[in-house]
């Protein structure tokens, strides 16, 4: 019985290590790094930076979540990135607006309609938790908190003034 308990604890420990490993992301840009779409230097606005990593582990930076999502929904528009479909994207990473930590974009929450403007204009500040996003929305006239699954290309077009 004691051996069984030790085996179960060991398995839980190993699973816990694997889960934590996937939660570690980085934004390793320097003062020369420019956003793929708007060509601005990303270091000047670190709270807005987004990053896409392709299957070959090549990184592409963006000046904001909106710019990153513009690429995500239409990667073929930027052939230099060598990504034709969303399936060729290994990781989507955004910066948590309040903590400046890199987080998984697909698990993040985004605030639509706030009074905070990124270098790309009206944008979607990203947060690790729904609660932080909601708090930000209340303090900055945000209209709605959205999960990644709720983000659509039409919203990005609206934010870019194309609708």
User: Is a pLDDT exceeding 60 seen at residue 12?
Assistant: no
Q: Are 52 and 64 in contact (CB under 8 A)?
A: no
pLDDT score at 162: 78
Using alpha carbons, list the distances in angstroms from residue 157 to 74, 79, 91: 11, 20, 23
Task: Express each pLDDT in 109-141 by its tens digit.
Answer: 999 999 999 999 999 999 999 999 999 999 999
């Amino acid at each position: 019985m004691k051996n069984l308990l030790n085996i179960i604890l060991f398995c839980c420990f190993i699973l816990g290590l694997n889960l934590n490993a996937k939660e570690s992301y980085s934004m390793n840009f320097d003062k020369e790094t420019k956003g793929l779409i708007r060509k601005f230097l990303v270091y000047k606005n670190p709270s807005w930076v987004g990053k896409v990593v392709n299957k070959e582990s090549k990184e592409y930076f963006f000046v904001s979540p909106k710019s990153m999502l513009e690429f995500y929904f239409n990667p073929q528009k930027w052939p230099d990135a060598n990504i034709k479909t969303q399936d060729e994207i290994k990781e989507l990473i955004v910066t948590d607006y309040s903590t400046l930590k890199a987080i998984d974009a697909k698990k993040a929450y985004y605030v639509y309609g706030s009074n905070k403007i990124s270098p790309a204009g009206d944008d979607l500040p990203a947060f690790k938790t729904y609660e932080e996003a909601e708090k930000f929305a209340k303090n900055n006239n945000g209209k709605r908190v959205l999960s990644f699954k709720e983000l659509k290309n039409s919203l990005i077009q609206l934010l870019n003034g194309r609708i």
